[in-house]
Structure 1
Amino acid sequence: MCLILAAIDALPGQPLLLLGNRDEFHGRVSAPAAPWDEDARVAGGRDLVAGGSWLAARSDGRFAVVTNVRSGLPATAPRSRGALVRDFVLGDAEPAAFLAMLGHDLDDYGPFNLIVGVAGQARLLSSTGGGVAALAPGVHVISNGAPGVHWPKTQRLQQAFANWRADPARTPTGALDLLLDTSQPAAAELPDTGVGHELERTLAPIFVRGAHYGTRAGTLLACAADGSVLLRERRFGANGLRLGEDAWRAARNAPFARVGVVA
């Protein structure tokens, strides 16, 4: 993922609501979100190049999501960041223990921000430093910078989510729609991540539209107080072309099953 909003114990009856846009080259082969062959209690998209995932959840409330960190320098590493998501949701290590063990192997992966957790409990590890951090109840927005570095897209999503949250008629569709925002910030507000002004402008909106690189998926993950889990994914092609949408739901610790798109 390249933009994550994690609302932890911030909504009535919902220990976790996660929103995320995955920005990636359109030519990188991926599979849509679906239950996994390894464990039908796990659902999420799959990177078919390296076998990992950008966002996945297990129906016992276990979840993981990762972003890269933009530095302007080419990044190659022995292991895919997506393996971090895969390994956590298929394993049973406690979030803090999993991240503590990973802290010894950061150089094996490209730069990343990783959130792992179980329902309303979440931990963050960034390869930019700072060690393992617990995410307090509230709303956290992270993009391709270090945690705590706020870009126009993170600030815009934070405010849009606050408006959605305050609406008594809010719906899951409305939350997912927040990820479709293509608004461009003012030139003076753009970050400088070393990729040049034109590319900074291309990457600046919440929803990135491009012929070769852009938003590939927008995802909503919702864990309810009764233990049920909803995963809903919208998929996009080059230049923002809408490719499809699926929703999967599971009762606590049960296999995921496809459901109709919920309003």
Structure 2
Amino acid sequence: MCLILFAYNTDPHYRLVVAANRDEFYQRPTRRLCFWPEAPDLLAGQDLQLGGTWLGITRQGRFAAVTNFRQGRRQPSVGLLSRGQLTLDFLLGEQQPLNYLQQADPDAYDGFNLLLADQQGLYYGSNRNDQSPKELEPGVYGLSNASLDTPWPKVREAREELGNLIEQGELSVDNLLKLLQHNQKPADDQLPDTGVGLEWERLLSPRFIRSEDYGTRSSLVLLQRYDGHTEVVEQSYLPEWQKPQGHCFSTT
């Protein structure tokens, strides 16, 4: 997951709004968003290579999403745990989000940003900055592959657009998917320098990424009302653009 836009307790109708793109190598095997047969209360996609998930929610209102933290070109990690297991373990467990973040071993994983929520609050933590895990205040946020609200062009501009949709009363699945499918690249002088080289900075700079072997695999929209009614829609793009798949349920 490489772009997560979210609004918390800022809209009169929705407690939590999430619009997120998952970027990944096309060849990596994936199970599309569904309620898992082996965990019927869990709605999530699944990384079939390592077994975890990048984003999910349960019927009990537990929510989790993870992005990696870009730190230049690195050799494949040996002996570290999958970041997708961080989200999965939280979703299948009962631990309070802040405690979970505080107890996660920062040295057991490559760089990550982790969003966790239950029916009491929304929380953020990372093992690649000097911030302690924290509860988030009501607001509109953006997260990519650096710290929360790092002003990369795609994060800054998309966060502003999400705020405008809320202010104008135009939140909808279609409008949020359209926001995520924006594929314009910023000028080179606006690009961050994360150590991957200019060619990759350009490739990774739009909200919606396309290349020969890597890009945006799916877009997800989550709209959760204050009464717990939740709508989740995923638009998958591989092997070709597929009809959006949606799920509705109420959290307890």
Q: Which runs of 5+ in 2 are unaligned?
A: none
* Aligned partners of 1:16 and 1:120 also within 8 Å: no
Most deviating of 153-162 and 243-252: 243-252
TM-score under structure 1 normalisation? 0.90
* 1:52 shift after superposition: 0.3
Give the SS at the match of 1:32.
strand
Number of equivalent positions: 249
Give the corresponding residue for 2:159: 158
User: How far apart are 1:120 and its partner, in Å?
Assistant: 6.4
Q: Which residue of 2 aligns with 1:208?
A: 209
Task: Give the drift of 1:85.
Answer: 0.9
In structure 2, what is the equivalent of residue 232 of structure 1? 233
Q: 1:98 aligns with which of 97, 100, 106?
A: 100
Any conservation in 1 of the 2:21–2:208 contact (CA below 8 Å)? Answer: yes
Q: Answer with 48-57 or 142-151: which moved more.
A: 142-151
Give SS of 2:5's match.
Answer: strand
Q: Is the 8 A contact 2:185 2:206 kept in 1?
A: yes
CA RMSD of the aligned region, Å?
Answer: 1.5
The 5-angstrom pairing of residues 17-32 of structure 1 reads 17-32=17-32
1:106-145 aligned within 5 A:
106-119=106-119, 121-129=121-129, 130-145=131-146
Contact 2:64 / 2:115 at 8 angstroms: preserved in 1? Answer: yes
Give secondary structure in 2 for the equivalent of 1:177.
helix
1:251 counterpart residue number? 250
Asked if 1 retains the 8 angstrom alpha-carbon contact of 2:41 and 2:58, the reply is: yes
Describe how 1:6-17 pairs up with structure 2 within 5 A: 6-17=6-17
How far apart are 1:221 and its partner, in Å? 1.5
Deviation sequence 1:44-71 (CA, Å, 0-9, x none): 1000011100000012211000000111
Runs of at least 5 residues in structure 1 that lack an aligned partner in the other structure? 254-263
Cα distance in 2 for partners of 1:135, 1:100 equals: 15
Change (3 A) 1:170 1:100: closer
State the secondary structure of the residue aligned to 1:79: coil
Distance 1:63 1:20 in 2: 13
Confirm whether residue 188 of structure 1 aligns to residue 189 of structure 2: yes
| TM-score of the aligned structures, taking structure 2 as reference length | 0.94
State the distance in 2 between where 1:170 and 1:4 align.
16
Which residue is 2:89 aligned to? 87
Percent of residue pairs bearing the same amino acid type: 35
Verify the 8 A CA contact 1:15 1:120 in the aligned structure 2.
no
Moved over 4 A (4+): none
State whether residues 141 and 148 of structure 2, in contact with CA within 8 Å, keep that contact through their aligned partners in structure 1: no
Between the aligned partners of 2:10 and 2:251, the Cα distance in structure 1 is 20
Distance in 2 separating the partners of 1:174 and 1:60: 27
Secondary structure of the 2:10 match is: strand
Q: In structure 1, the residue corresponding to 2:160 is in which secondary structure?
A: helix
